[in-house]
Amino acid sequence: MENTTMAAIGTRIAEVRRSHKVTQEALADMLGVSPKHISHVENATSCLSLKAIIQFCSIFDCSMDYLIFGKQNNEALSKLPDEIVKILNTGSNEDIARLNRYLQVYVEIQNE
């Protein structure tokens, strides 16, 4: 895998992990790998197995499209600004709830 691709995936893994306030050690335990391996993944010197990527996405309710490609492979979601897609994929429950409240206000304003 190309190093820039590995770096981008590692960065997104770190973003998702940090947004959920999970340490590298805790993530390593969740995935059954060493903390050193997680560090290597986040620094683009190694990569997770497909099984570990699937586990990661399941644990953090993260889209594999976002994790691998940095975007949604969904036409409607792909039209959203990158910042919103990032919140949807890496945001905490509080971030997503806040975004939902903003969108509800927007819908109310549109209906007036």
For the residues of 13-45, what is the DSSP string, one character each?
Answer: HHHHHHHTT--HHHHHHHHTS-HHHHHHHHTTS
In the block, which residue shows the tokens 């993944």? 41
pLDDT grade, residue 81 (50/70/90)? confident
| Token couple for 40 | 């290597």
Q: How far apart are CA 25 and CA 39, in angstroms?
A: 9
The predicted-structure confidence for 1-56, as pLDDT tens digits, reads as follows 578 899 999 999 999 999 899 999 999 999 999 999 999 999 999 999 999 999 99
Burial class, 47, CB count within 10 angstroms (exposed 0-12 / middle 13-18 / buried 19+): middle
The predicted-structure confidence for 22-37, as pLDDT tens digits, reads as follows 999 999 999 999 999 9
